[in-house]
Amino acid sequence: GIVLGIESSCDETAAALVTTDRRIIAQRIASQDAEHAPYGGVVPEIAARAHAEKLAPMIAGVMADAGLELADLDAIAATAGPGLIGGVMVGLVSAKALAMASDVPLIAINHLEGHALSPRLADPELQFPYMLLLVSGGHCQILLVEGVGRYRRLATTIDDALGEAFDKTAKILGLGYPGGPAVERLAKEGDARAVPLPRPLVGSGEPHFSFAGLKSAVLRAKESGKYGDADIAASFQQAAVDCLVDRLRIALDVSDSVPALVLAGGVAANQAVRTVLEGLAAERGMRFVAPPLALCTDNAAMIAWAGVERLDSGQSDPLDIAARPRWPLDPSAEPVRGAGY
Ligand code: ATP
Ligand code: MG
Ligand code: FE
């Protein structure tokens, strides 16, 4: 089977065709970095307009790349949330129109499920259950992935997401937007022990995360004028990585043993994060799985793949399904200290 995936929840417009046997047969992606860079972050109205302009030709493009007609598809999967509602609506409404016109089933995908299942697109050997660290621009969670649609949230951030902390650190250091890759590059030239920075919540008994205090400490370090930017970047990245490992240790300690430790989301593109998690997995006798970099940051192949997995389990959605700006992966998880999901 073949599933068309559509992603438009933030500032990447993307379409991809993925087969049941894990082949990405076509994909296109347009980043809006240039549109948002002057504002130092994503402007929702600009994002929605850019998605509206780019998506239809992009879908036609991937269909043409693969030499397929809509009638050849087994399903159309689109991100239906969480994210910026204007962009999500553009993608979901396009998917509905195509599904209706061609009588192909629609599958509404939770963007976080796209990230959570992306490692299984990359690695055919990865079976359920697995322990997942989902680190992205808007989320930082530890999830026990028990199956398609079965996610148990073990931990979340009580304030900022880690991607957000990378982006704010980039802003403080004048590295522009988007910040994660720029901070990682600069960190390579710095000394990770040069700047004393906090490791929020490290040592606490519950595996939650907190990055707001780290971000403020980065700002104070910069303003003190005592440290070079590369040392600040390296020390920030080290502090972040230390938090991830410490929190994951707690989650692994309190959970039944699972065979694989898995990393996904935009921050999973960070090599320092990948390296420490690989070490932790080795120490615990677990397999380590992280998708290739292009599948970590937002893309449509992961949405198409989540569609494949949902289709496999016999699921599709009605054409009147609504977009959801907020949509927790684990609906039973309580907000932590009011910080959301
Ligand atoms: P969410 O998935 O939570 O809705 P999002 O879709 O905006 O948020 P992603 O595209 O999954 O987020 O990830 C983008 C984030 O990943 C940004 O904050 C970006 O700075 C960060 N990021 C990307 N590459 C790297 C890297 N190499 N190192 C650190 N952070 C990175
Ligand atoms: Mg982006
Ligand atoms: Fe994302």
Q: Which atom of ligand 1 is nearest to the CA of 12?
A: 10
- CA 199 and chain centroid, separation: 23
Give the separation between CA 81 and CA 135, rounded to whole angstroms: 17
Specify the pLDDT at position 162: 98
End-to-end CA distance of the chain: 34
Specify the pLDDT at position 40: 82
Asked whether the whole model's pTM tops 0.90, one would answer yes
Tokens (6 digits) for 136: 């992205």
Give the separation between CA 237 and CA 131, rounded to whole angstroms: 22
**Using CA positions, which residue lies closest to atom 30 of ligand 1?**
180
**Using CA positions, which residue lies closest to atom 11 of ligand 1?**
266
Tell me if 83 CB under 6 Å of ligand 1: yes
111 annotated as a binding-site residue: yes
Tokens 């359920």 belong to residue: 128
Tokens (6 digits) for 251: 């989650």
Residue 35: strand, helix, or coil:
helix
Give the separation between CA 302 and CA 113, rounded to whole angstroms: 9
Closest CA to 44 of 57, 32, 56: 32
Specify the pLDDT at position 97: 98
Report residues of the chain scoring pLDDT below 50: none
11 annotated as a binding-site residue: no
Tell me if 291 CB under 6 Å of ligand 1: no
Angle between helices 111-122 and 301-312 (to 10 degrees): 90
What confidence tens digit (pLDDT) does each residue in 188-240 have?
999 999 999 999 999 999 999 999 999 999 999 999 999 999 999 999 999 99
Give the separation between CA 45 and CA 52, rounded to whole angstroms: 11
CA-CA-CA-CA dihedral for 298, 303, 304, 306, to nearest 10: 140
Ligand 1 centroid – CA 294 distance (Å): 11
**Using CA positions, which residue lies closest to atom 3 of ligand 1?**
138
Ligand 3 centroid – CA 57 distance (Å): 22
Structural contact between residues 3 and 307, judged by C-beta atoms closer than 8 angstroms: yes
Structural contact between residues 173 and 183, judged by C-beta atoms closer than 8 angstroms: yes
Residue 10: strand, helix, or coil:
coil
Tokens (6 digits) for 263: 């990393």
Structural contact between residues 231 and 191, judged by C-beta atoms closer than 8 angstroms: yes
Closest CA to 12 of 33, 31, 34: 31
Tokens 């699972």 belong to residue: 258
What is the bridge-based pairing of β-strands 24-31 and 12-19? antiparallel
Give the separation between CA 297 and CA 115, rounded to whole angstroms: 9
3-state helix, strand, coil in the chain (%, to 5): 45, 20, 35
Tokens (6 digits) for 133: 């660290």
Tell me if 316 CB under 6 Å of ligand 1: no
Closest CA to 191 of 226, 225, 238: 238
Tell me the residue type at 334: E
Closest CA to 25 of 78, 54, 64: 64
Structural contact between residues 111 and 325, judged by C-beta atoms closer than 8 angstroms: no
Give the separation between CA 309 and CA 58, rounded to whole angstroms: 23
Tokens 């991100």 belong to residue: 79
Specify the pLDDT at position 339: 54
Angle between helices 180-187 and 162-172 (to 10 degrees): 70
Helix count and strand count (H, E) for the chain: 11, 10
Name the DSSP class of 72. Answer: G
Name the DSSP class of 317. Answer: B
